[in-house]
Amino acid sequence: MQENIIHVEKWPHSRQPSEQELRDLMREENLEPYTWSNQPLDVYAAHVHDYHKVIYVVEGSITFGFPVEGAPTVMRAGDRLDLPAGVRHNAAVGPEGVFCLEARK
């Protein structure tokens, strides 16, 4: 995977993943995950980060929008987002809130 490309990987199984399972996937890549969550319908205005981030949704849903790079994508439990540094994005949390694992790459 190229470092300057947004990559979304949908969870390939019909069952929902456990937090530990997602942590293990991240640690296999030498990533050190931390958690964050948001209340239902929280919104983040467009912004950028100066680091590459990897996000797994553990519970709930969140829609990431990419005003310059491409169409928005809805992420649910088990879905992964690789977001390179400097990519402008916004986010809207789903009606049930969201709980995620995140790591800097």
**pLDDT tens per residue across span 72-83:** 899 999 999 999
Grade residue 85 by pLDDT with cuts at 50, 70 and 90: very high
Tell me, what's the pLDDT at 71? 79
Check: CB of residue 6 under 8 Å from CB of residue 55. no
- Does residue 100 surpass a pLDDT of 50? yes
Element (H, E) at 76: strand 70-76
Check: CB of residue 56 under 8 Å from CB of residue 22. yes
Kindly state the tokens that stand for 48.
Answer: 């950028």
Grade residue 67 by pLDDT with cuts at 50, 70 and 90: confident
Instruction: Return d(Cα 54, Cα 70) in angstroms, integer.
Output: 18
List pLDDT tens digits, range 24-60: 999 999 999 999 999 999 999 999 999 999 999 999 9
Q: Tell me what the mean pLDDT of segment 64-90 comes to.
A: 90
Pick the CATH number of 7-104 from 3.40.50.300, 2.60.40.10, 3.30.365.10, 2.60.120.10: 2.60.120.10
Tell me, what's the pLDDT at 36? 97
What is the per-residue DSSP string for 61-92?
A: EEEEEETTTEEEEEEETT-EEEE-TT--EEEE
Structural domain spans, the chain: 7-104
Tell me, what's the pLDDT at 1? 41
Radius of gyration in angstroms for the set of CA atoms belonging to the chain, rounded to a whole number: 13
